[in-house]
Amino acid sequence: MCNVNGFLSFLKEAPVAALTVDAIRRRLLSAGFHSLSLDFDALEDGAGYFIEIDRSALFAFRAVKDARGIMAVAAHADSPTLAVLPTPERGTSPYLRLAVEKYGGINPATLLDRPLSVAGKVACRTPNGVETKTVDLDRDLFIIPSVAPHLTRTKTENAPLDPAVDLQPLFGLENASLYDLVAEKLAIPRVDLLDAELFLYNRTVPTLLGAKGELLAAPRLDDLFSVYPALCALLDATPTHSIPLLAVFDHEEVGSSTRSGAASPILTRILERICGALSLSFDTVNQNSLFISADGAHAKHPSHPEYSEQTAAPILGGGIVIKHNANRRYTTGAESAAIFREICHRRSVPVQDYANRPDISGGSTLGAVALSNLPMLAVDIGAAQLAMHSSYETAACADLTALYRGFVAVYETALTQSGDGYWIELSERRI
C-alpha cells in the first residue's frame, strides 16, 4: 500500500537519483523481484524482474506469458539542484567554499539559507578494476548565505543570482576536503576514490501543513511524488493480461540525452527483450499498450491565478492531472486521454486537466522523448503541485493516494486495439 508515512521514509532514503534507485531496488528485492542483466533471454511467467542502468535508472516489470500488451508508467529520479565540480574546495580567506554548478532549472533563491548536504555516486579503484558505489554524507555540511538587504540597497531589486558567485556554498572556516569525507563515509582509502557525481540536496525535513494536515511540503516532490506511488502500485497490482512495467529514468531535468535518460534506446531494447523471452510479437504488443508519462503539474497558484489557463487550471487535492499541449510537449492525445480517463472512472479515481496559458511557455516531460522512436499510445499525467523546481515544493496528500489508485488501475488493465477503438478490460476492485 501507499501512504504518506511510507512516502516520507522513501524521501529520506532518496536525496538524489542514484540513492533513489537504491531505495527502489531494496523494495523490489524485498518483494521477490530478481535482478537481470540487459542480455536476458528467459523469463518465468508471473515473476518480477528489474534492470539497472548506471545505478541511476531502473526498469521493473512482471512477466506475463500470454500478455496482449504492456501497461507502462514512466517517471524520473533526478531533481534540479547544484552539482559538485571537480576538485571542489575554494578558499576565500578566511572561508572555505564549495565549487558547484546548476543542474537543471532549479529556482536558485530557494537554496539560500538552508542546511545542505551532498550525495551521489563515486567510482572507486578495486583490485579488478573500477566499482561504482553510492554515498550520502547525511549531515548538515553547507549553507549558501544570502546577502543582507542593508548591503544591497544600491543594487537593482530582485537582480538574478550569479551561479558562479552567489550560489557557491560555504563549507566552513577550516581546511577540509569533500572527497576525504566521502572516502571516510565509504571506509575506503582516499587514493582509491577516482571520480564522483555528487549533488547538493536540501536537508529541510518534510512536513504536513493545513488545518487537517492535508498538504505536504518537502524536497524533491518533482518527481518522487510520482515514483513512489508507481512503485507501490507495481508491487500491489493484481496480474492481468498485460505486462506491468515501471521505468524510472535519470537526467530528465537536463534533457534526457544520456545512457540512463529517456532519449536512450534502452527502453525499446528492454521491451524487445521481454517480447523475445515470452515469444510475443513486439509490434502487436506495442499496438495494445499504453505508456503513462508521470511528472508534476503546475497547480493554480493562490496568489497568482492569472498564470494559469482559466479552463484547465488544476488544484491541489483535485486528483490526477491529465496534461495537454497542442505542440506535443506532452504526449497526450484524444485516444490516450480518453482511455486513461475511462480507466480512472471505472475505479472512481478523480482526474482534472492542465494546459499552459497560451502566452506562457510551459515545460515538457520525458514522455515525448521516450516515445519518439517507440510507436506506443501515451498520455502525460501527474499531481498538481506548487513551487515546482523549488528546493522545497508543496502538494496535497490526497493526490498521492489518487496517483497510487490510478497506477494500480492502469497496471490491472488489459488494452486491445480493435479497428478505430480500444477494448478496456479492467475488473472491479476497491482500494
pLDDT in tens, 125-173: 999 999 999 999 999 999 999 988 888 776 656 678 888 999 999 999 9
pLDDT in tens, 284-310: 999 999 999 999 999 999 999 888 888
H helix or E strand, kind and range, residue 169: none
Same domain, residue pair 420 and 325: yes
Look over the chain and give the mean of its residue pLDDT values, rounded to a whole number: 94
Which pLDDT value is given to residue 154? 64
Which pLDDT value is given to residue 155? 62
350 pLDDT more than 70: yes
253 pLDDT band, cuts 50/70/90, is very high
Same domain, residue pair 253 and 394: yes
H helix or E strand, kind and range, residue 399: helix 397-411
Same domain, residue pair 57 and 181: no
Same domain, residue pair 381 and 249: yes
Query: Which of 202, 227, 242 is the endpoint of a domain?
Result: 202
* Stretch 84-95: mean pLDDT: 92
328 C-beta neighbours (distance < 10 Å), count: 14
d(CA 278, CA 280): 6
Same domain, residue pair 260 and 402: yes
pLDDT in tens, 398-407: 999 999 999 9
d(CA 262, CA 285): 20
Same domain, residue pair 284 and 269: yes
Q: Which residues sit opposite 396 in a β-bridge?
A: 215
pLDDT in tens, 355-372: 988 877 777 789 999 988
Same domain, residue pair 129 and 142: yes
291, HSE (Cβ side, Cα atoms, 13 Å) = 29
* Stretch 70-86: mean pLDDT: 97
In a domain, 430, yes or no: no
d(CA 247, CA 76): 8
CATH of the domain at 18: 3.40.630.10
Which pLDDT value is given to residue 249? 97
Same domain, residue pair 247 and 392: yes
Same domain, residue pair 103 and 162: yes
430 pLDDT band, cuts 50/70/90, is low
217 pLDDT more than 80: yes
Same domain, residue pair 296 and 409: yes
From the number of C-beta atoms within 10 Å of its C-beta (0-12, 13-18, 19+), residue 336 rates as buried
Same domain, residue pair 39 and 93: no
Which pLDDT value is given to residue 419? 82
Same domain, residue pair 225 and 196: no
In a domain, 214, yes or no: no
93 pLDDT band, cuts 50/70/90, is confident
Query: Which of 202, 231, 257 is the endpoint of a domain?
Result: 202
In a domain, 210, yes or no: no
In a domain, 431, yes or no: no
From the number of C-beta atoms within 10 Å of its C-beta (0-12, 13-18, 19+), residue 206 rates as middle
From the number of C-beta atoms within 10 Å of its C-beta (0-12, 13-18, 19+), residue 199 rates as buried
pLDDT in tens, 3-18: 999 999 999 999 999 9
Q: Which domain holds residue 85?
A: 81-202
Q: Are residues 62 and 47 in contact, defined by beta-carbon separation less than 8 angstroms?
A: yes
Angle at 203 between CA 197 and CA 209, to 5 degrees: 135
In a domain, 212, yes or no: no
Which pLDDT value is given to residue 129? 96
Which pLDDT value is given to residue 130? 96
In a domain, 346, yes or no: yes
* Stretch 177-201: mean pLDDT: 97
200 pLDDT more than 70: yes
Between the alpha carbon of residue 370 and those of residues 51, 92, 157, 290, the distances in Å are: 17, 44, 41, 13
DSSP code of 142? B
Task: Tally the domains of the chain.
Answer: 2
In 3-state terms, what secondary structure has residue 21?
A: helix
CATH of the domain at 95: 2.30.250.10
In a domain, 207, yes or no: no
Phi-psi region of 327 (alpha: psi -120 to 50; beta: other; left: phi over 0): alpha
